[in-house]
Amino acid sequence: MPARRIGFIGLGVMGKPMAKNLMKAGYSLVVWKHINPKPVNELVAAGAQEASSPKQVAEMSDIVITMLPDSPEVEEVILGKNGVLEGSRKGMTIIDMSSISPSAAKKIASEVEKKDVEMLDAPVSGGEPAAIQGTLTIMVGGKETTFDASLGVLQAMGKTITWVGDIGTGQVAKLSNQIMVALNIAALSEAFVLGAKAGINPQILYQAIRTGLAGSNVLEAKLPKILERDFKPGFKIRLHYKDLKNALEAARELNVPLPFTCLLQQILNALINEGKGECDHSAIIAFTERLANVAVRRK
């Protein structure tokens, strides 16, 4: 059975099943009651220990994992008052599995390094189903030796785990992934809205194109939900908006034009203003449906 104690901060849609999979793999878990006490209580009932602050999480752990919404939350939890770094010690490892900006990851890591603490940025892809099944795709930045030492922990949560390079490169890989996913959903939306407006049964259109070059994991995962008008979030529009914001920020720093990403971020902004920010990102189709005055649904 694994001997290392793991602190886990951020028990949301993704974090809670990830933490559960660590416990299933035999790791001792320490959790912190942050915003929503329900998942913390659930994990404590299953055998996890509860800490009173991120500082205490670090004091009780050998590895601390954070899975939080964005850069400011990660900075506050790790670097803030009573934060993880205050409770850390030489030889510990912090693994941030949130999706944040690469520059924030580098900033946090530079502070962590001053205390002789190791850090990886290890954002994930695959959504809630993969988090539950323990089959996440994990993109990791940081020292390769730290990656190698942490691989067993990551394997308890993911299936495809890739060391990308230095700290921050995991976040760049995740942002690249998010650009492709968002634009794929937007392309799917326009294609199926066109088909629906022409009177084609969307289920037939799906069968016609799914095995050709246009077939994709996004098509297989998202179109069935669209047809059922099921926009319960696996990944929320407001979070995808945040990821594209971070992608555009990184692109500005590197002087890389991302015109389609910029346009789609504005579409996501419009959907958020319409009250769809908590919907699954498959609801991107609602924007095109409204323009065309047609709905793509099962017949």
Q: Which residues are catalytic?
A: 174
What is the C-alpha separation between 91 and 75, in angstroms, rounded? 20
Task: Record the tokens describing residue 38, joined without a space.
Answer: 């329900």
Query: Is 278 within 8 Å of 236 (Cβ atoms)?
Result: yes
Show the tokens assigned to 3: 């001997």
Distance (Å, whole) CA 160 – CA 172: 17
How far is the C-alpha of 180 from the C-alpha of 199, rounded, in Å? 29
Contact present, 234 and 127 (Cβ < 8 Å): yes
d(CA 269, CA 88): 38
